[in-house]
Amino acid sequence: MQKRALGKTGLRVSEIAFGGVEIGIPYGIGVKSKEDMLSESEAIDLLHLAIDSGINFFDTARMYGESERIMGEAFKGCRDKVLICTKCRHFVDPDGNIPEDDALEKIIESSLEESLKTLQTDHVDVFMLHQAPMKVLENEKIADIFLKLQRSGRITATGASTYKPEETKKAIESGVWNVIQLPYNLMDQRQSEFFSKALQSGVGLVIRSVLLKGLLSDRGRGLHPALSDVEEHLKIYNELLDGKDYNLPALATKFALSNPEVSSVLVGIDRREYLEQSLVAADGKYLDNKSLQRAKDLAYPDPEFLNLPYWDRMNWLK
């Protein structure tokens, strides 16, 4: 497993980041309850296997149920071999309001302390805003709190998880956030317009949603009728697979890693086979310029429609 620089943080991360949400809460297509999840011992064994396979970057969050606790147990004897990214608990209320300064600092501070205790460590390598809408990114107090935590040594790098392109643009331009986690995949490539700016600014980019919650896999078949256009579009990628010895999920991973500005690709892993598939995809052999350009040409024409939370609310995902 090759390592890449995480912006100018001084950290070198594996090209595949182990996404820890699935080992903490029921998450993803077809996962409805704890009965569909790994047991704690199975999850710990999988984390150890990931380390042995060369993965050193692990992503979790306060909001991911048991994920931090399980990682804490798994990493007790090998903390020096892993880099941990965790995320602050949510603090914006349902009406979009941000707490007053003192209350805000207490929430962020206590979230980090809870994470450190649960992860059984004295620092985290990246501490992120779990969700960073414009209102949060424009709040100078939030930035000051994160920078203060960084100066304290309890976090190595600051980070923000963004969703919309304008949020990513703001996060890069602020000069506060060392790492940005953003959605990018074969279907939805809108965020790529900021890759060069991130590189120039020394910001590390971690890609999530590379498989579009599993749609860029065998799960992208037999979809709800409302998603018929999406299902038809997925078939187009067979063109890029012609003559290749890998499948669509591997193509999707290779596509993201073909961008030199990308530090790591976050993959949700809750099965040994998912880990093995990720390792095969991240083999250092990525798309040549011609294939990469063709993949960029095959983005979905209406990326705004690729709103999976909305699809979930409409019961289109089963």
Residue type, 15: E
Question: Is 180 a domain residue?
Answer: yes
* Single pTM value for the model: 0.94
- pLDDT confidence of residue 29: 64
What are the average pLDDT values for consecutive 10-residue runs of the chain, which has 318 residues?
97 97 81 82 97 98 96 96 97 91 96 98 97 94 98 98 96 97 97 97 97 86 93 95 93 97 94 92 95 97 92 86
**Which run of H or of E encompasses 311?**
helix 308-313
- pLDDT confidence of residue 84: 98
Residue 59: name the closest of 169, 248, 220, 204 by CA. 204
What CATH number did the domain enclosing 205 receive? 3.20.20.100
| Tally of structural domains, the chain | 1
- CA torsion sign for 98, 145, 20, 161 is positive
Rg (CA), the chain: 19
**β-pair partners for 18:** 58, 267
- pLDDT confidence of residue 25: 82
- Residue 55 phi, psi dihedral angles, 5° rounding: -80, 130
Question: Is 318 a domain residue?
Answer: no
Residue 66: name the closest of 37, 92, 45 by CA. 37
Instruction: Tell me if residue 160 falls in helix, strand or coil.
Output: strand
Are 147 and 158 in contact, with CB atoms under 8 Å apart? Answer: yes
Domain range enclosing 231: 3-313
